[in-house]
Amino acid sequence: MTVRFVDSASLPTAWGEFDMHGFEDAQANKEHVVLTMGDVGNGEPVLARVHSECLTGDALFSMRCDCGNQLQAALEAIAAEGRGALFYLRQEGRGIGLLNKIRAYKLQDAGADTVEANERLGFGADMRDYSILKPMFDHLAIDSVRLMTNNPRKVQALEELGVKVVERIPLHTHSNPHNEKYLRTKAGKLGHLFG
């Protein structure tokens, strides 16, 4: 595995002070971060979120998805509990990258759903690689989680890495006219569970 820990620093946020841990994937030329609050390596299951980068939703407040809302909800939940970890993976557009995501948006504007758009561009429906998480979990000494996700694939991926998922906690966000089709596609074609 080419992912290695680089350094840590404090990160004050609107929800409280987190520790930010930087990791580098030399093979993929990507940098990832984990935000932690409290003692996450004490052997107790950790409230956790595995979040793939979504520049449009996380930073530009796009209403086409629910990513930014899920990110904020996860940070709020961790802060309310006073302990947890948010794994922020640089895998934009389900792993296809930002520019291809823009191309996929154009296809969606013409009627395709998110899965169809990715496939028309020659990609799989979801190209994310969760194996890169293993060195991060190992470095932080986290071996069991209460995972905030609607995506059963993430639960399976963590279990395959040897991380025990003791509970799946759904992340509820509000739909809007711009993301209704997106959310239906996540449930119907990608198996996401919203309850």
The catalytic residue positions are 126, 128
Q: Is 94 annotated as a binding residue?
A: yes
How far, in Å, are 106, 119, 126, 152, 187 from residue 109 at the CA level? 5, 15, 20, 28, 20
Q: Is residue 70 annotated as involved in ligand binding?
A: yes
The answer to the question of whether 92 is labelled as a binding residue is yes
Is position 67 annotated in a ligand binding site? yes
149 is in an annotated binding site: yes
Question: 97-136 b/e with 16+ CB inside 10 Å = b?
Answer: eeebbebbbebbeeebbbbbbbeebebeebebebebbbbb
Distance CA 125, CA 95 (A): 9
Instruction: Say whether 50 counts as a known binding-site residue.
Output: yes
Known binding-site residues for GTP equal 49-53, 70, 92-94, 114, 149, 154
Known binding-site residues equal 49-54, 65, 67, 70, 92-94, 114, 149, 154
Known binding-site residues for Zn(2+) equal 54, 65, 67
